[in-house]
Structure 1
Amino acid sequence: MREKKKRLSIFGRIFFFLNSVFAALLLLSYILPYAVPKSFPILSVLSLLVPVFIIINFIFMFIWILSVRRQFLLSFFVLIIGYSHVTSLYKFSRNTTAPSQNSISVMSYNVRLFNIYNWIKETHVDKKIVDLVHADFPDVVAFQEFHKNQQAAFNFYTYKHVVLKGKNKKTGQAIFSKYPIVHKGSLEFPNTPNNAIYIDIVKNKDTIRVYNLHLQSLRINPQKEELTQENSERLLKRMAKTFKMQQSQAELFEINRKNCTYKKIILGDFNNSQFSNVYKTIKGSMKDAFVEAGSGFGKTLDYPFFPMRIDFVLVDESFTVNKFKTFTEHYSDHYAIQSVISLD
């Protein structure tokens, strides 16, 4: 007779219980894009933790496999069910195609005011940001948290749209373009310096609308904020309020987008992950350039605990995404992203 498989030890049972908890949390996270922040604000906070749930379930699965235990099937099936979530978090290979003559390169970069307050203890960070952009020289570049002192530094672009906000009108959003701007505008969000700006550019015979979107900031400083401290409840409430504001901003943006008949490119800092309702609302049927042609985690925020992708390039379905790149230069609390797309 075949020897029966040994039962799990007490430690093994506790380990499997923990595995079950994180598998359940990951399953719950699959419905988060459908959880409207105004109705489920605290639940929406969990969307930031989805990368953690995915990574932990992979760890559980591999430990069970190495132990030759069938318990690996729990995390395996949960990860398979959420295959689109997994591939949105990590891309194993870069799917690149040759750009066509009708291609356009775009970049998005939250430059954090060009380090004007010396958050990064390094000299000439502002010049290094300008040099980074100049070296790649994308056709269109969108900046969030732009400072007016840097406008002249980007004179190598012929066309620009800069919208400054705040009491002294020194900071805001900016778009620089090699192509003529035939129309431009700004979409104001109430009670915040964050906003969306846009330009309509002409590429060959096509008119394309390019949005630069900066949603409400979470204002979490990983060097100062500790979720384990006594202020964690207050922090969670603040984050929930932010998510509700983001939803209202996404709804305002959606109205503007629906009224535009041109092909569209959305660049920007959403201050929320690809697993959120806010991202789902803005993305709609558009393509996520990282998912189409990126690789690795695509981390865009300098957050030490887990990879957060909160900056995006979204394009209409009529575009082909040829390339996507996440820069590694650390000149802000965000990393620049760039994509090359072609008009079919």
Structure 2
Amino acid sequence: MKKLNLIDKFLFFLNSIAATILLLAYILPYIEPKRFAFLSVLSLTVPFLIILNLLFVVYWLLKVKKQLLLSLIILLIGFNHVASLYKMSASKQVDDIDNIAVMNFNVRLFNVFKWIPDIDAAQEISQFIQEKKPDIISMQEYRPDDGLKLKDYHRFEAVGGERIKNGQAIFSKFPIVNTGSIEFPSTYNNAIFADVVRGKDTIRIYNVHLQSLKIDANSDPLKNEAAENLFRRVGSTFRMQQAQADLFLEHKANSTYKTIICGDFNNTAYSYVYKKIKGDYLRDAFVEAGNGFGRTFDFKFFPVRIDFILVDQNFDINGFRTYNVKLSDHFPIMSKVKLR
């Protein structure tokens, strides 16, 4: 520190704070939100903290200062967190006749309130799906819309509400032999499932939509709400998500089928609910086959990945892609998987 000028000393002080908070954030997936809801809110800042610490590494590297070791060591300790934010390797793409293309897309009610001007969302989403040809589609914030024209798909939808019917839906090119819904109390969010038959195999498809944070993608939350109130509200939402994840896992534990889980978790890969749902047995399609930033939500401040496709050990993951199309506040993701 003696060889640092006053500005660099101040920057290293900020660097130390950023590194310490990131290190603390590494343990958040192991802390139940219902016990420490305030701390769990920090999981939302992990993408920003990773990027900030990377910038500090670059800064000290250009200055040829040993202070770069602080953030570098913290980033190496949390290498799996960094890999969940950005994949430096090329996307894995294995073409196989037996691949099953699985898409997840939060369609935001097909833009019914005209958040995005000058588009017919249902029609354009129909055209997008027709072009990409997924075998299975999981949709959140779905509502019945005559503009959605999907040919050759079996459909299961679970919708409710008085003003606008909305909920979740699963579309499948394979026959659907069983369906159901896992209701979450005091909310329109839920999880649904459909058992589909492909050849001799029955595959259970889950569509999970956990409680929303209700944060506008394009506004600064701190400008619209006091920080204390924001933390309290987000902490309360995380407690609800934990209870919802427990209900979902209780249902999943009774299934003996090969399983694919799609959904909008409304939380990141650094959260307790993600770790709880993924467990040690499921695999994240983006982590294994994606590349670049795993951004699935159109948040203007830093990349956020809150939409997931998880598969069990009965599948090989042969591809993953996030599509940068502006048809919702979420971006569609698709993975190609193959039954072993």
Shorter-chain TM-score tier: over 0.9
Name the SS for the 1:131 alignment partner: helix
Are 1:153 and 2:140 an aligned pair?
A: no
AA in 1 matched with 2:307: D
In structure 1, the partner of 2:64 is 68
The answer on whether the counterparts of 1:99 and 1:341 sit within 8 Å (CA) in structure 2 is no
Of 45, 48, 66, the residue aligned with 1:49 is 45
- Counterparts of 1:127-142 in structure 2, within 5 Å, are 127-142=123-138
Residue 325 of structure 2, aligned match among 292, 317, 329: 329
The amino acid that maps onto 1:166 is G
| Separation (CA, whole Å) in 2 of partners of 1:149 and 1:99 | 33
Pairwise CA RMSD = 1.6
Q: TM-score, normalised by structure 2?
A: 0.96
Distance (Å, rounded) in 1 between the aligned partners of 2:330 and 2:183: 23
Deviation at 1:187, TM superposition (A): 0.5
Tell me how far apart the structure 1 counterparts of residues 33 and 118 of structure 2 sit (CA, whole Å).
38
Contact 1:179/1:203 (8 A) holds in 2: yes
For residues 342 and 47 of structure 1, do their structure 2 counterparts lie closer, same or farther at Cα, with a shift above 3 Å needed? same
Moved more, 98-107 or 247-256: 98-107
Matched residue, 1:340: 336
- Equivalent position of 1:90 in the other structure: 86
Q: What 5-or-longer segments of structure 1 have no aligned partner?
A: none
Deviations 1:252-288 (A, max 9, x none): 0000111101110001100000000010011112110
CA-to-aligned-CA distance 1:235-259 (integer Å, 9 cap, x gap):
2111111000000000000001111
1:260 paired residue number:
255
Q: 1:220 aligns with which of 215, 223, 227?
A: 215
Instruction: Measure the CA separation in 2 of the matches of 1:299 and 1:11.
Output: 34
Q: 1:69 to 1:135 in 2, by over 3 A?
A: same
Report if the CA contact (8 A) 2:111-2:121 is conserved: yes
Could you give the per-residue CA deviations for residues 52-76 of structure 1, whole angstroms, max 9, x where no partner exists? 1101111111111111111111111
For the residues of structure 2 that align with 1:139 and 1:223, how far apart are their CA atoms?
32
User: Which SS does the other structure have where 2:15 is aligned?
Assistant: helix
Which ranges of 4 or more aligned residues in structure 1 deviate by more than 6 Å?
none
Letter in 1 for 2:155: K
1:1-344 → structure 2 map (5 Å cutoff): 7-150=3-146, 153-167=148-162, 170-228=165-223, 231-284=226-279, 285-344=281-340
How many residues are paired up? 339
The residue identity in structure 2 corresponding to 1:177 is S
1:130 Cα offset (Å): 1.1
User: Aligned partners of 1:76, 1:60: CA distance in 2, in Å?
Assistant: 9
Per the TM alignment, residue 231 of structure 1 is displaced from its structure 2 partner at its CA by: 2.0
1:61–1:75: 8 Å Cα contact kept in structure 2? yes
> Greater Rg, structure 1 or structure 2?
1
Length-normalised TM-score, structure 1: 0.95
* 8 Å CA contact 1:286, 1:317 repeated in 2: yes
Summarize the Cα distance change of 1:176–1:230 in structure 2 as closer, same or farther, 3 Å threshold.
closer
**CA distance in 2 between partners of 1:302 and 1:129 (Å):** 17
**Matched AA of 1:25:** I
Q: Deviations over 1:198-217 (max 9, x none)?
A: 00111121111000111001
SS of residue in 2 equivalent to 1:199: strand
**Offset, 1:224:** 4.5
Aligned AA for 1:11?
A: I
- Quickly say closer, same or farther: Cα 1:38–1:314, change in 2 above 3 A: same
Once the 2 structures are TM-superposed, how far is the Cα of residue 167 of structure 1 from its aligned partner? 2.6
| Cα distance between partner residues in 2 of 1:326 and 1:273 | 16
C-alpha contact 1:99 1:342 (8 A) present in aligned 2:
no
What is the distance in 2 between the residues matched to 1:146 and 1:6?
Answer: 59
- Label 1:108 to 1:57 Cα distance change in 2 as closer, same or farther (>3 A): same
State the distance in 1 between where 2:176 and 2:217 align.
39
Q: Alpha-carbon deviations, 1:12-62, whole Å to 9, x = none? A: 221111111111011001101011110011111110100111011111111
Q: CA deviation at 1:229?
A: 5.6
Provide the rounded CA distance (Å) in 1 between the counterparts of 2:148 and 2:64: 60
